[in-house]
């Protein structure tokens, strides 16, 4: 299966490392072309260091055909799919263009800058007959998959409350500083907090309303600190917070969750998941140490091959609801935390 990678920024560098590993392990996924508008990156092969992987890497790109234009790459290569690792405001137009050119698309999260753009992407996928997948990687992250399974099987009974947090230093590493441009990234709310928004949609479905407070601390970047209460008809208590202004030396990045049930709790922090049964001793879950960024691409390749791994239109609709919910949060924050009601349409 031949792949073209578009974008060599932070996530593009992470994807590149995974594709090189896939080649070495005989996964059947072969990166053949790399595209970036910054020709200097293609010449140097120097990747971008980000909060979750602060080690700057240098790649040997001599094995790949190099391009500065995605359309030229698609016309020149025989590709099974393109992996788009681009600024958020480009997700919709570039995904739609690639689909229209007859290529399957794996697009990094978030799906798009707006729910309306998400609708256009879904429509383009249906019309082209090609597959589209969004890299909301927490749906494939071992600790989150474990929690989702406990929820669905009601291992500890009904869920009472859940708290999600992620935060870290300000992302100053992006190309032309697009991450700190609200119009391009949506700020912390749509770029980083959206991971937990998507997890909440996946685990609990859309709430009936949200109340969000936020602060803009970096000029032009949108909300940099956010906290949202999600209001559900059955009364369960759900909150998620994010802050990308924690700039203390060595802090880096952190994500965690706590989910409380009728007869126990799950606590994930410092990359460890601990199970707390009400009637027994706590214990740490031992995972295989899988790479969710790697696994989601392999899953997409199986979908393209025709395997019935998931309903990709249904999954896209779920990610559209994630953006719909994030938009409701932003409206609530704009009104100082007033309740903002949410509908699926």
- Shared-domain flag, residues 194 and 248: yes
Q: Indicate the residue among 113, 135, 157 that finishes a domain.
A: 135
Confirm if 17 and 57 have CB atoms less than 8 A apart.
yes
Whether the pTM exceeds 0.75: the reply is: yes
What's the pLDDT at 204?
98
Parent domain of 115? 2-135
- pLDDT digits 0-9 by tens, 120-160: 999 999 999 999 999 999 999 999 999 999 999 999 999 99
Q: How many CB atoms lie within 10 A of CB 138?
A: 22
- pLDDT digits 0-9 by tens, 33-63: 999 999 998 988 876 655 555 455 788 899 9
- pLDDT digits 0-9 by tens, 49-108: 555 554 557 888 999 999 999 999 999 999 999 999 999 999 999 999 999 999 999 999
- Answer whether residue 164 shows pLDDT above 90: yes
Q: Which residue is associated with the tokens 């031949």? A: 2
Confirm if 36 and 114 have CB atoms less than 8 A apart.
no
What's the pLDDT at 54?
47
Query: Phi/psi of residue 66, each to 5°?
Result: -110, 140
CB-count burial class (<10 Å; 0-12, 13-18, 19+) for 172: exposed
| Percentage, residues of the chain above pLDDT 70 | 97
Query: Phi/psi of residue 195, each to 5°?
Result: -55, -50
- Shared-domain flag, residues 240 and 166: yes
- Shared-domain flag, residues 29 and 120: yes
Q: Indicate the residue among 82, 102, 135 that finishes a domain.
A: 135
User: Which spans in the chain are helix H?
Assistant: 10-25, 39-44, 70-76, 91-100, 115-128, 142-153, 182-185, 187-191, 194-204, 292-304, 312-334
What's the pLDDT at 148?
98
**Which residues have CB under 8 Å from 261's CB, separation 6+?**
150, 154, 155, 156, 157, 158, 159, 160
Going by DSSP bridges, is the β-strand pair 81-84/65-67 parallel, antiparallel, or unpaired? Answer: unpaired
Going by DSSP bridges, is the β-strand pair 272-277/283-284 parallel, antiparallel, or unpaired? Answer: antiparallel
The domain that contains 239 carries what CATH number? 3.30.360.10
307 falls within a domain: no
Q: How many domains in the chain?
A: 2
Which of 162, 219, 212, 206 is closest to 190 using CA atoms? 212
- pLDDT digits 0-9 by tens, 307-338: 999 999 999 999 999 999 999 999 999 999 99
Q: Which residue is associated with the tokens 């740490």? A: 284
């Amino acid at each position: 299966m031949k792949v073209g990678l578009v974008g060599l920024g932070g996530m593009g560098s992470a994807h590149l490392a995974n594709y090189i590993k896939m080649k070495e392990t005989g996964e059947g996924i072969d990166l053949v072309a790399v595209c970036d508008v910054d020709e200097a990156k293609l010449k140097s092969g120097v990747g971008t260091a980000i909060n979750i992987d602060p080690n700057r890497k240098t790649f040997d790109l001599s094995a790949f055909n190099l391009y500065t234009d995605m359309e030229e790459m698609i016309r020149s290569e025989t590709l099974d799919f393109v992996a788009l690792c681009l600024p958020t405001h480009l997700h919709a137009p570039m995904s739609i263009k690639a689909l229209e050119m007859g290529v399957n698309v794996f697009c990094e999260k978030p799906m798009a800058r707006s729910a309306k753009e998400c609708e256009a992407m879904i429509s383009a996928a249906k019309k082209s007959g090609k597959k589209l997948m969004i890299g909301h990687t927490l749906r494939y992250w071992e600790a989150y998959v474990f929690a989702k399974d406990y929820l669905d099987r009601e291992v500890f009974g009904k869920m009472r409350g859940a708290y999600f947090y992620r935060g870290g230093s300000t992302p100053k590493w992006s190309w032309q500083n697009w991450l700190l441009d609200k119009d391009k990234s949506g700020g912390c709310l749509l770029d980083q907090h959206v991971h937990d928004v998507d997890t909440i949609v996946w685990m609990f479905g859309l709430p009936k309303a949200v109340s969000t407070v936020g602060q803009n601390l970096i000029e032009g970047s949108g909300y940099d600190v956010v906290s949202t209460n999600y209001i559900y008809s059955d009364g369960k208590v759900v909150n998620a917070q994010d802050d990308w202004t924690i700039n203390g030396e060595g802090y880096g990045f952190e994500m965690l969750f706590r989910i409380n049930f009728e007869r126990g709790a799950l606590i994930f922090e410092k990359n460890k998941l601990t199970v707390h049964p009400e009637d027994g001793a706590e214990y740490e879950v031992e995972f295989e140490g899988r790479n969710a960024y790697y696994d989601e691409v392999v899953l997409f390749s199986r979908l393209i091959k025709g395997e019935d791994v998931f309903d990709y239109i249904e999954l896209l609709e779920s990610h559209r609801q994630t953006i719909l919910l994030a938009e409701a949060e932003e409206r609530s924050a704009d009104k100082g935390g007033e309740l903002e009601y949410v509908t699926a349409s």
